[in-house]
Amino acid sequence: LRQSLLTLRESLTLRLQQLCGPDTKTAALLTALLLGDKTLLEEDTKKQYQDGGILHILTVSGLHVSLLGGTVILLTKKMYLPPWLRGLTAFLLVLLYWQLCGGGISAGRAVVMFLCLTAAPLLGRTYDSLSALSLAGILLLCHSPSLLFQSNFQLSFGAVLGIHLVCPSLTTD
């Protein structure tokens, strides 16, 4: 499966390069945005994003996962699939996309949280983002405990925790 996903990634990269024609900067940027592959980016482009403090937008994360998963759920709903099959289809495609994009930490967190979001109603439960975040952390740390000391793990989980803690104080009753 990994080899098939790697082949698919290479073929998608080539297709993006063909679509962009001689504009190699755009092809490199699209490849980074959609597939999380920054190897085609020129060093000066990477440096500009880094100096601007926005290099993180080239990382596949929760936005990508939620857009893909939500789109799949909407399309399968229009196909009148039962809820359990919609959730399963969306989760499998999101999981494959995560692996296609290199299996990054922030995307892994988002995949687990998406699974909790789609599975909760099927199991007669309500979704709780803090519990989903905790489960994602536990699963990722069980797989690789050293992630706890990596900044991308800390920032990804810290950002979602911050949103969870700040948002309730922004709403008015």
Stretch 116-137: mean pLDDT, rounded?
A: 94
Q: What is the per-residue pLDDT across 16-56, written as a single tens digit (0 to 9) for each?
A: 989 888 888 888 999 988 998 888 889 998 899 889 988 87
Residues 138, 16: Cα–Cα separation, whole Å:
36
Who wins on pLDDT, 54 or 145? 145
- Please tell me the predicted confidence (pLDDT) of residue 169: 80
* pLDDT reading at 172 higher than 80: no
Distance from the first to the final alpha carbon of the chain: 50
Residue appearing with tokens 């092809």: 27
